[in-house]
Amino acid sequence: MTTTHFTTRSLYRFMRASSLALIAATTSFAFIGAAHAAAPMVKTPAPGYYRVMLGDFEVTALSDGTVQLPVDKLLTNTTPENIAKGLNKFHQKSPLETSVNGYLINTGTKLVLIDTGAAGLFGPTLGKLAGNLKASGYQPEQVDEIYITHMHPDHVGGLVDGDKLAFPNAIVRADKKDADFWLSQANLDKAPADSKGFFQGAMASLNPYVKADKFKAFEGNTELVPGIKAIASHGHTAGHSIYLVESKGQKLMLWGDLMHVAAVQFDHPEITIQFDTDSKSAAAERKKAYADAAKQGYLVGAAHLSFPGLGYLRSEGKAYAWTPLNYVPTP
């Protein structure tokens, strides 16, 4: 009788102690949860670079940031209804958060940067390319050559850092037709007031390299270094160029501003944009580039495709479908 009584009392005490421990533990976990919930949000993105191998070449996509563009007002040769329909299909809307990308190519003997971002020429949300280049493991002083697709501010602004060359050891190259157009004082003087900034931005960015004898124009289709070739794609600007990068039979075509709004212009290559100098020629070059990329199946990169802006194109009737590059970590 005594043994049974002792066992019952012991069990009661054990259960009471267990209950108190459970309450204490629950309170502790609740406190921990509350502490985590109260932690401030970081609100900073990861460094904006992405690396992939192309044969023996290392390709690093660099983000200059994003900018909101009122594409419903900028796109031409279409209607607002068609623009909205295309954007809605991909859960997007205007103003559209639009990437600005540059590409760093390490051939093993040359470090080549294609486009430099905007720096301070296109608003406060851009200008991140130089920082992301450093985050990717390189320094601006290591860049040997810079190839410009065209001289709009979001492609050339990063050439300078204040009044200094941002890439002090680099030779800058671009099509002569673009240089003749955007670096002309006569063209600046006669340009409409709302277009003068494009000329002023190009001059501020390129002229320091011209004065330092570090700017060398080319004309049309030109091999610039082994494995990288400029291909004339005039229309968006007078000397707009795209660049073919090739190593061990693998190809990457960097389109620059051959297109701007994937959700609309892959389905309708005929749709143009107000930034085009010659919209008819720009549309023709886009259609030609789409057809070639879809037929040959090579990798494509573009300045305003969602970062990193790399992927493949396939034809779907008269339209095209975009497949982003699958993520593959590189050593």
At the top level of CATH, the class of 49-324 is alpha beta
For 81-113, how does the pLDDT look when each residue is reduced to its tens digit (9 = 90+)? 999 999 999 999 999 999 999 999 999 999 999
Tell me how many degrees the CA angle 152-158-162 measures, rounded to the nearest 5.
Answer: 115
- Concatenating the DSSP letter of every residue in 38-71 gives HSPP---PPP-EEEEEETTEEEEEEEEEEEEE-H
**What percent of the chain stands above pLDDT 70?**
88
pLDDT at 35: 52
pLDDT at 19: 47
- Edge-to-edge order in the sheet of strand 171-175: 49-54, 57-69, 96-106, 111-114, 145-147, 171-175, 215-218
Mean pLDDT value of segment 35-42: 77
Taking 70 as the threshold, does the pLDDT of residue 17 lie above it?
Answer: no
For 131-187, how does the pLDDT look when each residue is reduced to its tens digit (9 = 90+)? 999 999 999 999 999 999 999 999 999 999 998 999 999 999 999 999 999 999 999
Whether the pTM exceeds 0.75: the reply is yes
